């Protein structure tokens, strides 16, 4: 098939994004649509009606994932699944997740209305949760479908208001066996389009990013215990200054990260005790978030950095504690799907690059479960998780057009 000119569907995309953003709209022009909240419930229910109006067969599963199905005529059992997540962060923007749902909906509708039923079954999915913004658990939607997550994980979880996960789920009508179990074994592949949430495409003036890997992530909490002391009467050489030593470690790891290819290492949070101007800090705790698309690079970096941490804290007579609380492996996208998608993009002469995703996506959960492809459109100034996130209508339309052609090739030929 020939893709449309971008202009033909820009209006339709914008309208549907604005419509979705109205569920959970905030005073700051942002979106707060947390899992199982009232705006979330209304968004999923109205999306279901929208899918129905397009002629799709609709159903929820028992965690609240919403599916719109166009049954294939030849291979109806195996499903080409496409979509993204409907939940947002607190005060997020209107593109993250929502754009992937809109893109899949419009692509599937376009094909269905133009060519009728596909040979292979297509399902558009509005995944219930990806961000981990309400409960301390992320990828609840994709994880429930693929078996990464199970109901028994959520019984002890509560949100910031103390509401139990199970109760929130029940109040939205889910987790009550009223819908099919979310676990699926009929997914042939998963396709997602998403805003980049970074500045690589914009900086390189490219319209599309074909994602080759989603980075692995290791996260740690590092605590240094020194000795709190008087800032005036304790000579420099008699100090066990937890903050000054933490700064040494953070300075070192940042410099080292800058020398690596493609690796990012971030200390985003630091807490100091007693945190008083004229007292040498007795304790400093900071987080470390390290990401790379190759597991070996991740492991080597952390190991070398921690050797340095140990050496310095030993020298300073400071106690070091390193607690790891995340170890997500890198995930490779499917090479055959990447190659097919790239061929379409090249044919349309759209400026693109192959790239790594530094952010987590539902595609990383599907990527270890079934062949998966992820396509990025640019994020203006890389701004993400903010009411200010923005992608031009042209770029949004290009993403939808490529997904349409890709779905056509996979489901109709």
- Is 113 labelled a binding residue? no
Which residue's CB is nearer to its own copies, number 188 or number 200?
200
* 3-state secondary structure labels for all residues of 244-283: HHHHHHHHHHHHHHHHCCCCEEECCCEEEECCCCCEECCE
183-201: b (≥16 Cβ within 10 Å) or e: ebeebbbbbbbbbbbbebb
* 3-state secondary structure labels for all residues of 342-382: HHHHHHCCCCEEEEEECCCCHHHHHCCCCCEEEEEECCHHH
- Is 255 labelled a binding residue? no
- Dihedral sign for Cα 375, 377, 378, 379, please: negative
Q: Closest distance between its own copies and the C-beta of residue 181, in Å?
A: 32
How far apart are alpha carbons 381 and 100 in whole angstroms? 20
Which residue's CB is nearer to its own copies, number 79 or number 355?
355
Which residue's CB is nearer to its own copies, number 155 or number 236?
236
How far apart are alpha carbons 167 and 152 in whole angstroms? 14
- Is 353 labelled a binding residue? no
Q: Closest distance between its own copies and the C-beta of residue 55, in Å?
A: 37
Q: Interface with its own copies by CB under 8 A: which residues?
A: 196-200, 203, 215, 217, 219, 229-238, 241, 243-244, 246-248, 250-251, 254, 257-258, 263-270, 272, 274-281, 287, 289, 291, 357-360, 382, 384-385
Q: Closest distance between its own copies and the C-beta of residue 237, in Å?
A: 7
- Is 184 labelled a binding residue? no
Q: Closest distance between its own copies and the C-beta of residue 89, in Å?
A: 11
Q: Closest distance between its own copies and the C-beta of residue 14, in Å?
A: 24
Helices 393-412 and 335-347 cross at an angle (nearest 10°) of 120
Which residue's CB is nearer to its own copies, number 91 or number 409?
91
Which residue's CB is nearer to its own copies, number 204 or number 339?
204
Which residue's CB is nearer to its own copies, number 251 or number 346?
251
Chain-centroid distance, C-alpha 333 = 15
- Is 361 labelled a binding residue? no
Q: Closest distance between its own copies and the C-beta of residue 290, in Å?
A: 9
How far apart are alpha carbons 26 and 21 in whole angstroms? 9
Report yes or no: 379 and 389 within 8 Å, Cβ to Cβ.
yes
- Is 278 labelled a binding residue? yes
- Is 59 labelled a binding residue? no
Enter the tokens of residue 146: 């693929």
- Is 334 labelled a binding residue? no
Residues making up the binding site for Zn(2+): 85, 96, 131, 194, 385
Annotated binding site for allantoate: 219, 278, 291
Provide the annotated binding site.
Answer: 85, 96, 131, 194, 219, 278, 291, 385
């Amino acid at each position: 098939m020939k893709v449309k000119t971008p202009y033909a569907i820009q209006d339709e995309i914008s309208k549907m994004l604005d419509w979705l953003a109205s569920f959970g709209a905030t005073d700051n022009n942002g979106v707060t649509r947390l899992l199982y909240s009232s705006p979330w419930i209304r968004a999923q229910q109205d999306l279901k009606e929208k899918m129905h109006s397009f002629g799709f067969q609709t159903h929820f599963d028992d965690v609240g994932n919403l599916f719109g199905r166009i049954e294939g005529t030849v291979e109806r059992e195996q499903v080409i699944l496409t979509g993204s997540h409907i939940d947002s962060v607190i005060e997020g923007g209107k593109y993250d997740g929502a754009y992937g749902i809109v893109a899949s909906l419009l692509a599937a509708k376009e094909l269905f209305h133009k060519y009728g039923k596909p040979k292979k079954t297509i399902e558009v999915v509005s995944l219930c949760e990806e961000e981990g913004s309400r409960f301390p658990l992320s990828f609840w939607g994709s994880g429930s479908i693929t078996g990464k997550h199970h109901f028994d994980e959520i019984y002890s979880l509560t949100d910031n208001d103390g509401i139990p996960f199970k109760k929130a789920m029940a109040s939205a009508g889910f987790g009550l066996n009223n819908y099919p179990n979310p676990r699926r074994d009929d997914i042939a592949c998963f396709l997602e389009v998403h805003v980049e949430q970074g500045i690589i495409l914009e900086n390189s003036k490219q319209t599309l990013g074909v994602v080759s890997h989603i980075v692995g992530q290791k996260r740690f909490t590092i605590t240094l215990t020194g000795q709190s002391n008087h800032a005036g009467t304790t000579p420099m050489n008699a100090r066990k200054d937890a903050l000054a030593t933490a700064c040494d470690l953070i300075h070192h790891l940042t410099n080292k990260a800058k020398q690596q290819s493609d690796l990012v290492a971030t200390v985003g949070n630091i807490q100091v005790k007693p945190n008083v101007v004229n007292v040498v800090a007795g304790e400093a705790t900071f987080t470390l978030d390290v990401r790379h698309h190759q597991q070996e690079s991740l492991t080597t970096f952390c190991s070398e950095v921690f050797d340095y941490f140990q050496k310095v804290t030993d020298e300073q007579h400071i106690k070091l504690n390193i607690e790891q609380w995340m170890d997500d492996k890198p995930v490779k996208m499917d090479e055959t799907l990447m190659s097919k998608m790239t061929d379409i993009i090249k044919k349309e002469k759209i400026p693109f690059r192959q790239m790594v995703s530094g952010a987590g996506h539902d595609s990383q959960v599907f990527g270890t479960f079934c062949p998966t492809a992820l396509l990025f459109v640019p994020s203006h100034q890389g701004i993400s998780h903010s009411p200010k996130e923005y992608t031009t209508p042209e770029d949004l339309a290009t993403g939808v057009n490529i997904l349409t052609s890709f779905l056509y090739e996979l489901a109709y030929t």
